[in-house]
Amino acid sequence: MSKYSVIGTRVNRVDGPEKVTGSAKYTFDMVLTNMLYGKILRSPYPHAKILNIDTSQAEKLIGVKAVVTGKDTLGKKQGIWRRFPELCDEEILCREKVRYIGDPVAAVAAIDEDTAEEALDLIEVEYEPLPAVFDPMEAIKEDAPQIHAGVELNINVTRHIEWGDVDEAFKKCDHIREDQFKCSSQAHMCMETHDAVASFDYSGKLTVWTSTQSSYYIQALLAGMLGLREGDVRVIKPHTGGGFGSKFELDSAQFCASVLSMKLCKPVKIVLTREEEFTATKRRTPMYYYLKLGAKKDGTLLAKEARVITEGGAYTGMGATALYLTGFFSSFPYKYPNYRYDGYRVYTNTAPTSAMRGFGAPQSVFAGESQLDMLAEDLGIDPVEIRRKNGMTPNYEVPGQAYIQSCGLHQCLDEIEKHIKKRGKLPPNRGIGIAAYGFMSGGIFNWFDTPYAFSAAIVRINIDGKVDLFTGACEIGQGSDTTLSMICAEELGIRLEDIRIHAGDTGICPPDLGAWGSRETLMNGNAVKMAAADAKRQLMEFAAAKLGANIVYDMDIKDRWIHLVDRPERGISYFDAVKEAIRGKDGEVIIGRGHYTPHRKGMISPAYSFGLQAAEVEVDPETGRYKLINVTTAHESGTVINPVGIEGQLEGAIMMAGGYGFCEDQPMDEGKILNPSIADYKLIRSLDMPETDILEIDTYEPEGPFGAKEAGEGLTNPTAGAIGNAVYKAVGVRINDLPITPEKIFRALKEKEKQGKKSK
């Protein structure tokens, strides 16, 4: 019998009716009076000086209203790591130099899209191509072309994490492995591309509707770039067709539409094409991984050393965070007494790499879990057993780095072990591989240098008992509108249908850092809970006065009934109490306020969720082709607020993370992405999707609202690693570079056969 009325129940999404009827309006659908349409001209060179831009012919084209270049901007550079100005390196509209194929150089506003597109062809740009470099291993050399002035060897960011003494510890190990891995790029491939409608009015205020994960970040960054007061920029998030990490930085659609609108005082809409989406928006960070792992012969891990070079692309974006997190999560989810990580992010003349769901952890888990399986095999230890031996437990301190309160990893190990036993003896060429992970529930850092609380919410109770919940949290499909409404309803003791959420509008909602780093449930959930508790307290004052019960009794609200906890039949309806309270407050509505910033929780995350995933594959050894048969996950995320939501997040994560292991890739030639179309960018469709199962694990996180923590990003960590381990179990070959394609398996099998023949 659940102690909760709303959370933990299976509910329909609050934005559901609009979405299933096609009435949900996205930025993609917006049409405003006098709206113009914009298009962006982008560099065809990976590295070049801009000598001159002649827009005169384009301006003459009938229907063109404005053409802008970097000269029409304040010439500022921006970036999301505002605490470190040297990492704010992206102008968006380039003035002197372009640094990747796709870097914007001009933008046009016209009466329709076709005219705007035609105008692009009429803009003459004189470039002086410069030598370009595409591979971080090349870019880091002395003679490589310098991409950003003053950045030696193109080393953009370095990160170092260390505890214990790995060099000493390796000397004590019975067995040491050294392995290298290559992790590929990946495109977010949101169904709605980046888009924005910007409208600057004669009173000097800018309103931008955009598909975004963080209206607040976009507001602040736009204000900075355009020389406007933050308060004069309002960013509104309509329904948003996916984010996955691609939409919380200022992008070219938002910026160029704003610049054009400011020039014309008319609304301007820019929608990136799918090709632009693939080539000119940020992507997952490709990484070169070197790992050294040492253990005792009984499988106790003593030391791990990780050295990573990441392909930064042309600008920093969130790449510095990915660099840090990959190194931090390389130490998860095991207790390493000694650990050292050195990471280097290197600029290259390719599309910038940044944040994508998992944020460096899918890469670290692929490399780490592959290596751990190899070590286990070397030592003759079962893969589940070695993880059990070393896995993190509750109340564990990652030395000097982070404190983990709740941790259900061991329960996950037990459940997956049972699952593997149940699958029984597998037919030939089939194998089950596992991968374990731990992930953050909201990043702390504050590299954005916000003075605001990380999350905030306002609850307003109206005379009829209907509640307006205002939050900056951004619903991008992940279900935050529903989850937060559920938390609000639970705390206030009313029903989900009593809540109406207003989210992601900087004009009316308190700031929230946005939907990234798996933070909405924990951080914004805490803020919403606090706001609801505040409103509840005010309501209860009047209810208590009305009931006049003996002071020993305390009171609560459940299912719209305010009552004495020990005598539930004595009470007053929530609706009556609201009327009394508002009258008592001289007609003022009840307002509850809440906020949350993790204090004294370290600099990484206030909580971590854990899991173990088992992937079962069947390989055709003659061709290397393989099928994903089943992916079963034991994931613990504390109290489950929204079970339908979590299932959806898990299955969706398997499609995306499975794709990372199975088929998604962005091959390049001289900085040019070769497959910028959905026809050529392979991803998992319904016929390719494996069976998926979730094993429920019960844990409780004290830091989270009602004990909840994340379930959305951590789930993308393990699949590539699990697939790699599964392929090895199935046919005995290891592929250390992603994606794991049939051709790579085929070649590895041929090589293995050759080796086998040689040794005979």
Q: How far is the CB of 529 from other proteins (least distance, A)?
A: 23
β-pair partners for 696: 635
| Dihedral pair phi/psi, residue 440, rounded to 5° | -80, 155
> CB-wise, 491 or 664, nearer to other proteins?
664
> CB-wise, 12 or 34, nearer to other proteins?
12
Q: How far is the CB of 245 from other proteins (least distance, A)?
A: 12
Structure tokens at 227: 């020389």
Give every CB contact of residue 497 below 8 A, 6+ residues apart in sequence: none
d(CA 686, CA 468): 38
Determine contact, residues 212/235, Cβ cutoff 8 Å: yes
Structure tokens at 437: 């992970």
Based on C-alpha coordinates, what's the Rg of the chain?
27
Among 530, 565, 542, which residue's Cα sits nearest to residue 458? Answer: 530
Structure tokens at 256: 């160029």
Q: How far is the CB of 548 from other proteins (least distance, A)?
A: 44
Give every CB contact of residue 214 below 8 A, 6+ residues apart in sequence: 247, 248, 474, 512, 513, 514, 515, 516
In the block, tokens 């959905």 appear at 678
CA atoms within 13 A on the CB side of 410: 10
Q: Is the dihedral of CA 423, 426, 429, 431 positive or negative?
A: positive
Q: How far is the CB of 162 from other proteins (least distance, A)?
A: 38
Q: How far is the CB of 101 from other proteins (least distance, A)?
A: 17
CA atoms within 13 A on the CB side of 684: 20
> CB-wise, 602 or 742, nearer to other proteins?
742
3-state secondary structure of 44: coil
> CB-wise, 275 or 576, nearer to other proteins?
275
Q: How far is the CB of 314 from other proteins (least distance, A)?
A: 23
Q: How far is the CB of 182 from other proteins (least distance, A)?
A: 17
Amino acid at 526: N
Structure tokens at 43: 């560099």
Among 387, 318, 292, which residue's Cα sits nearest to residue 718? Answer: 387
Alpha helices in 49-159 (DSSP H): 56-60, 113-121, 136-139
Q: How far is the CB of 255 from other proteins (least distance, A)?
A: 23
> CB-wise, 187 or 531, nearer to other proteins?
187
> CB-wise, 274 or 388, nearer to other proteins?
274
Q: How far is the CB of 368 from other proteins (least distance, A)?
A: 24
| Strand residues in 254-391 grouped as ranges (E) | 268-271, 283-284, 287-295, 301-313, 338-347, 353-354
> CB-wise, 12 or 393, nearer to other proteins?
12
Amino acid at 497: E
Determine contact, residues 57/119, Cβ cutoff 8 Å: no
| Dihedral pair phi/psi, residue 672, rounded to 5° | -105, 125
d(CA 414, CA 439): 19
Structure tokens at 96: 């002197």
Q: How far is the CB of 68 from other proteins (least distance, A)?
A: 21
> CB-wise, 102 or 598, nearer to other proteins?
102
| Dihedral pair phi/psi, residue 679, rounded to 5° | -65, -35
> CB-wise, 324 or 626, nearer to other proteins?
626
Alpha helices in 48-103 (DSSP H): 56-60
> CB-wise, 564 or 619, nearer to other proteins?
619
d(CA 534, CA 490): 13
> CB-wise, 247 or 519, nearer to other proteins?
247
DSSP, res 422:
H
> CB-wise, 40 or 166, nearer to other proteins?
40
d(CA 105, CA 48): 11
> CB-wise, 295 or 708, nearer to other proteins?
708
Other C-beta atoms closer than 10 Å to the C-beta of 755 total: 10
Q: How far is the CB of 115 from other proteins (least distance, A)?
A: 10
Cα 420-423-429 angle, rounded to 5 deg: 95
Cα 244-246-250 angle, rounded to 5 deg: 145
Q: How far is the CB of 721 from other proteins (least distance, A)?
A: 18
Q: How far is the CB of 351 from other proteins (least distance, A)?
A: 17
Q: How far is the CB of 138 from other proteins (least distance, A)?
A: 22
Q: How many residues does the chain have?
A: 760
Q: How far is the CB of 655 from other proteins (least distance, A)?
A: 4
